[in-house]
Chains A and B, each alone.
Chain A
């Protein structure tokens, strides 16, 4: 279950808002889990998204759809840099293996702050998932990323980033999970690969249209 929540964090962080009428498709793969997201920016500050996660948790296969809005609250544009503050709001639910609706219809509330130049990237994301039956003990998650580009590529060249990712979930045992990643950018496609220090692999692909 911890992997599920961390997956949702990853997806919702991926690229909250692109450009007006832009579409982003994202796919993430971790052990026993596959996620896809479709994200459409309806206004320069707002995107609507739908996410679908399929997870094998041993004896049960979970299907976890959700819909959410990603809102750009504030952006700071400078020559050669950009900083953003986002809010994510939505609703998700469990569909159990037999097709029935599970008892976990939950809200999705998140914030993301990031700063980027052509050579440096850093982002912090935090989420909570309130349900009607568990308002007193809300689970929360947090992720921090820092990346460096060893060189700056033009649009028609391959851009590589070295990224470090730290994740923490309320209720998770042990220290936060650290995953070193390599991120590749080519024109309108991004993909990332990595393995955490405890052996959890990560593969993500994203395309913008």
Chain B
């Protein structure tokens, strides 16, 4: 039973993005596209989604890879926007 519950917990944890970036200046579909394309082209990024309502970019990283805050700033700036804040989800092994 315990391994099953552990598996469920890990699956639920996998739905949470590794990094969430609140972005200033995001107002339309073209904005979303620019951020998705810029982050999606980064080698350490597995998946990225953009929420226009919340001005939020959610990033899932590939295993064992990382993305520094400075690099996130550059990616957002190259897309034409500014970072408001960066939130990181602790790795599951730290819990």
Contacts and interface: CB of A to CB of B under 8 A. Distances in A.
Interface of A: 15, 17-20, 22, 44, 72, 75-82, 116-118, 152-155, 159, 185-188, 190, 208
Contacts of A187: 29, 33
Nearest to A22: B34
Contacts of A44: 77-80
Output the residue of B22, B31, B35, B51 with the most chain A CB within 10 A.
Answer: B31
A208 B32 CA distance: 11
A44 B80 CA distance: 6
A155 B32 contact: yes
B74 to A, nearest CB: 10
A133 B38 CA distance: 46
B27 A185 contact: no
Given A19-B38, A80-B26, 18 more contacts: A15-B30, A19-B37, A19-B79, A19-B80, A20-B38, A22-B34, A44-B77, A75-B25, A79-B22, A79-B84, A81-B27, A118-B52, A153-B29, A154-B52, A185-B29, A187-B29, A188-B29, A208-B33
A155 B38 contact: no
Nearest to B38: A19
B92 interface: no
21 contacts: A17-B80, A18-B34, A19-B80, A20-B38, A20-B78, A44-B79, A77-B82, A79-B84, A80-B27, A82-B27, A82-B31, A116-B27, A116-B28, A117-B27, A154-B51, A154-B53, A155-B33, A155-B52, A185-B28, A188-B29, A188-B30
B28 A159 contact: yes
A1 B56 CA distance: 46
Interface of B: 22, 24-35, 37-38, 50-53, 55, 77-82, 84
Interface SS of chain B = mixed
B50 to A, nearest CB: 7
Contacts of A82: 25-27, 31
A177 B80 CA distance: 33
A80 B55 contact: yes
Contacts of A188: 29-30, 33
Contacts of B81: 77
Nearest to B25: A77
A117 B25 CA distance: 9
Contact of B53 (A75, A152, A186, A190): A152
A187 B24 CA distance: 20
A50 to B, nearest CB: 20
Contacts of B27: 80-82, 116-118
